[in-house]
Amino acid sequence: AQSVAQPEDQVNVAEGNPLTVKCTYSVSGNPYLFWYVQYPNRGLQFLLKYITGDNLVKGSYGFEAEFNKSQTSFHLKKPSALVSDSALYFCAVRDRRDYGGATNKLIFGTGTLLAVQP
């Protein structure tokens, strides 16, 4: 079965410092990976996705993610954190049908709360 894991419940970083939010995956076949962000009492907003191609994916609000096949990881990064980046971040992987075909069902990790201190 497809799955993603976010090993950190919370990440604390000072404003201006680089940030990393970790995600590892377990999939059969090629992974389709996503990052979403959720602000308090709101829905999720899409940040970026990896389908194929370059291992470094650039997304919204200055975020990027690095796909590492050997380590089965898809960590979210930003060179310089802002207080406004404080939110809940979810990693997700696209589910696959029993016969191997892709679907748009997403399997989400448990989320990582990012707290950026001024």
Partner 1 sequence: DGGITQSPKYLFRKEGQNVTLSCEQNLNHDAMYWYRQDPGQGLRLIYYSQIVNDFQKGDIAEGYSVSREKKESFPLTVTSAQKNPTAFYLCASSIGFTGGSGANVLTFGAGSRLTVL
- Binding residues for partner 1, rule: CB under 8 A, are 9, 32, 34, 36, 41-46, 49, 51, 90, 94, 101-106, 108-111
CB of 103 to partner 1, least distance (A): 6
Q: Which is nearer to partner 1, 36 or 63 (CB)?
A: 36
CB of 111 to partner 1, least distance (A): 5
- Secondary structure string (H, E, C) spanning the chain: CCEEECCCCEEEEECCCCEEECCEEECCCCCCEEEEEECCCCCEEEEEEECCCCCEEECHHHCEEEEECCCCEEEEEECCCCHHHCEEEEEEEEEECCCCCEEEEEEECCCEEEEEEC
CB of 80 to partner 1, least distance (A): 26
Looking at residue 12, its amino acid is N
Q: Which is nearer to partner 1, 26 or 103 (CB)?
A: 103
Q: Which is nearer to partner 1, 19 or 48 (CB)?
A: 48
CB of 46 to partner 1, least distance (A): 5
Both tokens assigned to 46: 């899409």
Both tokens assigned to 48: 């970026």
Q: Which is nearer to partner 1, 63 or 90 (CB)?
A: 90
